[in-house]
Structure 1
Amino acid sequence: MSHRARSALSAALIVLACLLTPLGALSAWALYGIGDRARYEATMAPLAADADVRDAITAGVADGIMREVHVRPRMQGPVNSFVRDAVRSFTQTEAYRTAWEAANKAAHDAVMRALRDDSAGPVTVDLATVTERVKRQLAADHMPLADRIPVEHTEVTVLGAEELVRLRKGFHVLEVAAFWLPAASVVLTLAGILVAVCRRRAVLATGLGTALGAALLGFAIAVGRRLTLSDLPAGVSHTAAGAVYDALTSTLRLACWLLLALGVTVAVIALLAGAYARHARHRRAATTGAPAQDQAQAQAEGATQVGA
């Protein structure tokens, strides 16, 4: 194979590897970071203490209670204020954290079960247990109307039927890609470096390509955050949704920074190795060239003496 063909093949392999690297990181995050229940629960648990999330939950639960409790118009303001204060106080208790963990576990189990099965209906979560805990807290705070709050099996739709069909196809692809994309990226990288005429340049290109791919993935995460918040329905807290998005993508953002650091480090090492190799060649050339120069000068001086 000619040098030109080897260079072209090496470049194609390295470019393909650099494209697969961020896609592999994305698919691995989706399957192992979001799909794994233990990791998902560990990610969502700290959000129970997030101020924006607590405010959003306070507003949602209080509005739901006020829709079920009918009071005189002149009493709506004081009762609404009392309910919000009681719910906000509830969000600082251990019972709230238990309810938060239970709700997230139920939502995650329902979504993953629907993605792995072939059920056609929407994914719903029953919030009756959360309402029951709030009702008990309000009764403990001596709210007169707490006993009138109905505890019904209120189902909240997490995923619609149409969204579920699209996500199920993507999830099946991720299950395969989460392993094979990173493996293919490593194999293609090694093949591209071994085939290259100048392996140092191939390593440099791999480092720069990896860093560029990581930067593009980070940009895509930022764009995805903006699009997600812009598509929220009215009444949903953007700050709380942003906190949830940031928590869910924290592992993916960390992977971006690690890939970026790895790519830059590899590129810098390749550049330093090239500079050292050039310096070593110059030193060898200067060392081997000095005796020949001295011998030529001696011969010239001898010829001058003979002529004299």
Structure 2
Amino acid sequence: MPTRVRNALSAALIALSCLLVPFGALAAWVMYGLADTGRYVATMAPLAADPAVQGAVADTVGAGITHEMDRRLRASPAADSVRPFVADAVRSFTRTAAFRTAWDAGNRAVHDAVLSAVQDGRERAVTVDLAPITAQVKRRLTDDHVPFARHIPVEHTEVPVLPADDLDRLRKGYDVLEVAGFWLPVSAAVLATAGIAVAACRRRAVTATALGTALGGAFLALAVAIGRRLTLADIPDPTHRPAAGAIYDALTQTLRTVSWLLIALGLTAALTCHLTTHVTQRRRTRTTPPADPAHEPTRARA
């Protein structure tokens, strides 16, 4: 095979491999990170101590309890008497060990509900029951002897998590990622190996692959940063954006680590190739014997 053809084929294979690197990392992160219930719960667990998350949870749960109270205890003095204590009780509850347990259980329930809905193929909205958290808040109010706390209704209130229309799109994306999460990284490795193997100068091909990998890691880091900005911009309530930002950062921590790891490994490999090339050239220069002046052609004199 001519050298020019080999170099062109090598460049195409390496470019395609480096293009697949960020997409492969993203797909693998979704399938083996977010789609695993245990890893998801472990990732979300530290957020139970985040003040922004605690505030957002307290506002959401308190609003749900108050709404249920207004519905059940309408035109009753119990509703007006208990309502001022609900927000304080819920906020106080978010700073307890019981809340951390409820937080983990709630995240596990939400993740299991969404994952089951994605995998079972049925067209339905995903909901989570609010009753367990309401029961714990009621128990705390009752223990603190808050008036009419025992009248707080504890019913199986289904809180919507994901509409049926969004579930259909999520299911299609999940099916694609289930395949891409494995095959994209494998394809990237195979293409890079093939590109280096067919190159006329393999050291130069390794350098190009390393730089392309670093560029793919930088592109991934940029995509995560842009995704964070767009995600927070879509939240209508500005007071909940700090909590959403903390959750986004926790979920994408592994992805950011992978992106910086790709950058570091790529630049290190490229620098190593450059240094070894430089050292090899210097050794060749030192070991090459000088030309014998007696055998040099004499110049014609005028």
Answer yes or no: same fold by TM over 0.5.
yes
The answer to whether 1:29 aligns with 2:29 is yes
Letter in 1 for 2:210: G
Contact 1:103 1:127 in 2 (8 A): no
Q: CA deviation at 1:64?
A: 2.7
Which of the residues 220, 237, 241 maps onto 1:234? Answer: 237
Cross-structure match for 1:181: 184
Please give the alpha-carbon distance, in whole angstroms, between the structure 2 residues aligned to 1:71 and 1:138: 20
Q: Deviations over 1:192-228 (max 9, x none)?
A: 0111111111111111100111111111111111111
Letter in 2 for 1:248: L
Letter in 2 for 1:105: R
Cross-structure match for 1:303: none
Contact 2:82 2:147 in 1 (8 A): no
The answer to whether 1:269 aligns with 2:269 is no
Cross-structure match for 2:257: 254
- Correspondences of 1:204-223 after superposition (within 5 Å): 204-223=207-226
Q: CA deviation at 1:284?
A: 2.2
Please give the alpha-carbon distance, in whole angstroms, between the structure 2 residues aligned to 1:170 and 1:263: 30
Cross-structure match for 1:168: 171
Letter in 2 for 1:41: V
Q: Do the aligned partners of residues 243 and 77 (structure 1) sit closer, same or farther apart at CA in structure 2, a change above 3 Å counting?
A: farther
Cross-structure match for 2:283: 280
TM norm structure 2: 0.91
Q: CA deviation at 1:148?
A: 1.8
Please give the alpha-carbon distance, in whole angstroms, between the structure 2 residues aligned to 1:296 and 1:197: 34
**Structure 1 gap segments, 5+ residues each:** 301-308
Which of the residues 81, 101, 105 maps onto 1:102? Answer: 105
Cross-structure match for 1:289: 290
Q: Do the aligned partners of residues 141 and 5 (structure 1) sit closer, same or farther apart at CA in structure 2, a change above 3 Å counting?
A: same
Q: CA deviation at 1:51?
A: 0.8
**Structure 2 gap segments, 5+ residues each:** none
TM norm structure 1: 0.89
Q: CA deviation at 1:235?
A: 6.9
- Choose 263-272 or 75-84, whichever is displaced more: 75-84
Please give the alpha-carbon distance, in whole angstroms, between the structure 2 residues aligned to 1:202 and 1:270: 10
The answer to whether 1:55 aligns with 2:55 is yes
Please give the alpha-carbon distance, in whole angstroms, between the structure 1 residues aligned to 2:125 and 2:238: 22
The answer to whether 1:114 aligns with 2:117 is yes
**How many percent identity over aligned positions?**
55
Q: CA deviation at 1:141?
A: 1.6
Cross-structure match for 1:304: none
Q: Do the aligned partners of residues 281 and 190 (structure 1) sit closer, same or farther apart at CA in structure 2, a change above 3 Å counting?
A: same
Please give the alpha-carbon distance, in whole angstroms, between the structure 1 residues aligned to 2:146 and 2:197: 75
Letter in 1 for 2:262: L
Letter in 2 for 1:289: P
Q: Do the aligned partners of residues 150 and 274 (structure 1) sit closer, same or farther apart at CA in structure 2, a change above 3 Å counting?
A: same
Q: CA deviation at 1:229?
A: 1.1
Secondary structure at the counterpart of residue 237 of structure 1: helix
How many residues are paired up? 294
Q: Do the aligned partners of residues 78 and 218 (structure 1) sit closer, same or farther apart at CA in structure 2, a change above 3 Å counting?
A: farther
- Correspondences of 1:133-172 after superposition (within 5 Å): 133-172=136-175
Please give the alpha-carbon distance, in whole angstroms, between the structure 2 residues aligned to 1:127 and 1:235: 24
Contact 1:62 1:80 in 2 (8 A): no
Q: Deviations over 1:29-59 (max 9, x none)?
A: 0001000111011001111111110011122
Q: CA deviation at 1:112?
A: 0.6
Cross-structure match for 2:66: 66
Contact 1:86 1:141 in 2 (8 A): no
Q: CA deviation at 1:88?
A: 1.6
Contact 1:204 1:270 in 2 (8 A): yes
Secondary structure at the counterpart of residue 95 of structure 2: coil
Please give the alpha-carbon distance, in whole angstroms, between the structure 1 residues aligned to 2:58 and 2:134: 12
Q: CA deviation at 1:78?
A: 8.7
Q: Do the aligned partners of residues 188 and 148 (structure 1) sit closer, same or farther apart at CA in structure 2, a change above 3 Å counting?
A: same
Which of the residues 219, 222, 227 maps onto 1:224? Answer: 227
Please give the alpha-carbon distance, in whole angstroms, between the structure 2 residues aligned to 1:147 and 1:77: 14
Secondary structure at the counterpart of residue 157 of structure 1: strand
